[in-house]
A = this chain, B = another copy of it.
Amino acid sequence: MKKDDVCEVVCVHEDIVRKVKQRVLGQEKILKLAGIFKALGEPTRLKILHCLKEEEMCVCDISEVLEMSQSAISHQLRVLRDLRIVKYRKEGKNVFYSLDDEHIFKILDEGLNHISHH
């Protein structure tokens, strides 16, 4: 999109626009935040996280619970790991995953609240 015709519309409430424009989050923060939500916004990953909310689990257990291939689970765990949404612990051949952070719990719960009250 050309920089000039970015907004072709002329109806602008100047005071509001000025105020809100000052409070816009930086691109970096937006991307980071969007990254977290995007991770939670995929059914498989959400299921994984909902499992880990209950128990620390190894890849195979998750695979079994969700009735999906080990590979698919492992790929998604990689995404969650990279975003530091889950942490892991090696024990012999197993790798046990768990939620990284209290905020993830809260976000999940708040989401559940939202869909209940509706």
Contact = CB atoms under 8 A, between A and B. Distances in A.
Interface of A: 1, 6-13, 16-17, 19-21, 23-25, 29-43, 46-47, 50-51, 54-55, 57-61, 63-70, 84, 93-94, 101, 103-104, 106-107, 110-115, 117-118
A111 B64 CA distance: 30
List the number of copies, as a whole number: 2
The 6 closest A-B pairs by CB, nearest first: A38-B41, A37-B41, A103-B114, A37-B40, A41-B41, A9-B60
A18 B70 CA distance: 18
Contacts of A114: 36, 101, 103-104, 107
A61 B70 CA distance: 47
B110 A107 contact: yes
Contact of A117 (B7, B38, B103, B113): B103
A10 B20 CA distance: 55
